[in-house]
Homo-oligomer: A and B are copies of this chain.
Amino acid sequence: MGQSGVKDKCKNCALYADADLFCAHLSGEELCDLSNQSRTLSMKRGDTLENEALVHWPVVAIDSGVLSMQHLLQDGRKTIAALFMRGDIIDLRNISNRNRGALIALGKVDICRLAPKVFERVMEHNSGAQKVIWENLRDQAFRAMDHSGDIAKKQALEKLASFVFECRNRQVGYGEGDWVDIPVRRIDLAEYLGMQPETVSRCFKDLEKRGILETPRLNALKILNVPMLRRIANGDKDMLASESRIKVLKIA
């Protein structure tokens, strides 16, 4: 059951094709097992993974697209608590429904619902694969903590700057390129950062006016001044209020 035995549905899946990801670390037999007993699913914007489905299929791997974990407050306010992308594995086994957000697609998302039994077996016996999912879960944890830190005390402009870097870090062939994919709509971005779409719009405009970036399209932007954007993201107040600073200097 070697390379040639790989199921069609797995051949083009990122989790198998990318050597850093989970399925690429499975033995032929494991892959075959997992493939046979797992279910791929293609979601479109707004589709939700329902609770009943998650009880039987609590382990979800993302092949492509952006899946969000959303928290809904009683009066309708919504927040996106986390974004899951290519390679992320969400393990909801034994997670109580209470206090867990809903998993909602923010666009076309291809996922694979991994058979829990096989997943568990692989975790126990395949230390290479184990390491991959462990790293992935750690990433998720630290990313969530970073995100908490970002939205807790940063101002709108700073949050947005941080988000641009988060996107850059997560995009596939990121390198040090100046083009950054924004894989979510403005409205989702606002919910993720805990602000209003109007404010997002105003902040992008502000950053453009300062010559720090360009937003020719909604789903991508070009950073013109990386160090400056970084300083803003890091909360350097001097950068923030250039105009008021000038005012102060004039008075002095």
Contact = CB atoms under 8 A, between A and B. Distances in A.
Interface stretch (A32-40, A150-158, A197-205): A150-158
A217 B94 CA distance: 36
A145 B144 contact: yes
Given A95-B142, A130-B123, A149 B75 contact: no
B81 A148 contact: yes
Interface stretch (A4-12, A104-112, A175-183, A230-238): A230-238
Contact of A144 (B100, B123, B148, B231): B148
Contacts of A101: 145-146, 149
B73 A154 contact: yes
A193 B73 CA distance: 17
Contacts of A235: 73-75, 77
A167 to B, nearest CB: 14
A127 interface: yes
Q: How many copies does the complex hold?
A: 2
B75 A153 contact: no
Interface residues of A, number: 48
Interface stretch (A133-141, A206-214, A218-226): A133-141
Contact of A124 (B91, B130, B237): B130
A82 interface: yes
A145 B73 contact: no
28 contacts: A69-B145, A71-B146, A73-B153, A73-B154, A73-B158, A73-B236, A74-B236, A74-B237, A75-B236, A77-B153, A77-B154, A77-B235, A79-B148, A80-B149, A94-B135, A95-B138, A95-B142, A100-B142, A123-B130, A130-B130, A137-B137, A137-B138, A137-B141, A144-B145, A147-B148, A148-B148, A151-B194, A153-B191
Interface of A: 69, 71, 73-75, 77-82, 91, 94-95, 99-101, 123-124, 127, 130, 134-135, 137-138, 140-142, 144-149, 151-154, 158, 191-194, 231, 234-237
